[in-house]
Amino acid sequence: MNAYATGETHPTLNEMLGTRWRRPPLVQRAWLRWVLVIGGIAYLIAAFLSVEVNWTRVYEGLDRGGAFIMAFTQPNFVSRADAIWDGMLESIVMTVASSVVGILVSIPIALGAARNIAPLPIYLICRGIIAVSRALQEIIVAILLVAIFGFGPFAGFVTLSFATIGFLSKLLAEDIESMDRSQAEAVRATGARWSQWIDYGVKPQVIPRLIGLSIYRVDINFRESAILGLVGAGGIGATLNTAFDRYEYDTAAAILLIIIGIVMALEYISGIVRARVQ
């Protein structure tokens, strides 16, 4: 019939004509397919049934929801201007300070967490720090730190620095581990010391990525700083919480608009910087 027929037997054209054609299923084993489908549906039904929704409350809430959306058209920056200004300033201060400290600390930890640079004991310690930092969410760390340090931006500052370390060190360490060996070896072959080797062989390869990631992290830190106030760790979150509690939607809308505006500006700047660095 054709030159491509192999040893396997395939149905011939005459056998196949008139038969229905179905797309082969994604999961080949039939029992597994049915288990997945039925299990999925059963879970969804159980999940939906266990969610208690107070529909009258939701219905009543629609008015307030509408009022909130309307508030976005006329946000009120004025009546709580002092609180907004102080909260925003505190958020920005926390963002800047924690980003700087976080980045500075994360560089040595990243070097220590790169298997091709660091000896094993240091590697394990640094990886441990990263794992702890990544597993604990900012807000939980903030709660614990508020309990320890007391209310105020210091707890928020430590929280964000700690989170920055986990984020940056991990990505940076992966970058160092995947860097081009030949360039680094060429520098070492000139007889450079370890510090010189890092400076000339490693640094030029990872600096662009470090800058890109750092700016991205500044962006995240700012967004996170907006919620730390909910647990008393400083920043705009406290003001926002108060605004919601008092149903002052126009003030809340103003704060949210400022947050969105700053995040957009940061994303724009980070786009420009990353384009220039790479």
Q: What is the smallest separation between the CB atom of 52 and other proteins, expressed in angstroms?
A: 7
Nearer CB in complex with other proteins: 108/261: 261
Nearer CB in complex with other proteins: 39/181: 39
DSSP string, 236-254: THHHHHHHHHTT-HHHHHH
Distance CA 93, CA 265 (A): 17
Nearer CB in complex with other proteins: 17/120: 17
Nearer CB in complex with other proteins: 117/234: 234
Contact (Cβ atoms closer than 8 angstroms) between residue 151 and residue 160: no
Contact (Cβ atoms closer than 8 angstroms) between residue 114 and residue 176: yes
Q: What is the smallest separation between the CB atom of 247 and other proteins, expressed in angstroms?
A: 7
Binding residues among 111-140 for other proteins as defined by CB under 8 A: 135-137, 139-140
Which residue among 39, 108, 152, 271 contacts other proteins (CB under 8 A)?
152
Which residue among 126, 215, 227, 254 contacts other proteins (CB under 8 A)?
227
Cα Rg of the chain, angstroms: 28
Token pair of 186, please?
A: 């060429």
Under the binding rule (CB under 8 A), the answer on residue 154 touching other proteins is yes
Nearer CB in complex with other proteins: 112/234: 234
Nearer CB in complex with other proteins: 23/121: 23
Under the binding rule (CB under 8 A), the answer on residue 34 touching other proteins is no
- How many angstroms separate the Cα of 61 from the Cα of each of 12, 54, 243? 65, 11, 17
Binding residues among 67-96 for other proteins as defined by CB under 8 A: 68, 89-90, 93-94, 96
Nearer CB in complex with other proteins: 201/234: 234
Q: What is the smallest separation between the CB atom of 182 and other proteins, expressed in angstroms?
A: 23
Which part of the chain contacts other proteins (CB under 8 A), choosing from 75-83, 118-126, 197-205, 226-234? 226-234
- For tokens 């750092």, name the residue: 214
Binding residues among 156-185 for other proteins as defined by CB under 8 A: 157
- How many angstroms separate the Cα of 163 from the Cα of each of 108, 150, 245, 269? 15, 19, 29, 22
Per 3-state DSSP, the chain is made up of helix, strand and coil in percentages (nearest 5) of: 75, 0, 25
- Count of CB atoms situated within 10 Å of the CB of 136: 16
Contact (Cβ atoms closer than 8 angstroms) between residue 162 and residue 202: no
Expressed in angstroms, the distance from the first to the final Cα of the chain is 56
- For tokens 């009543």, name the residue: 60
Which part of the chain contacts other proteins (CB under 8 A), choosing from 176-184, 189-197, 210-218, 224-232? 224-232
Which residue among 172, 224, 232, 233 contacts other proteins (CB under 8 A)?
224
Binding residues among 12-31 for other proteins as defined by CB under 8 A: 12-13, 16-24
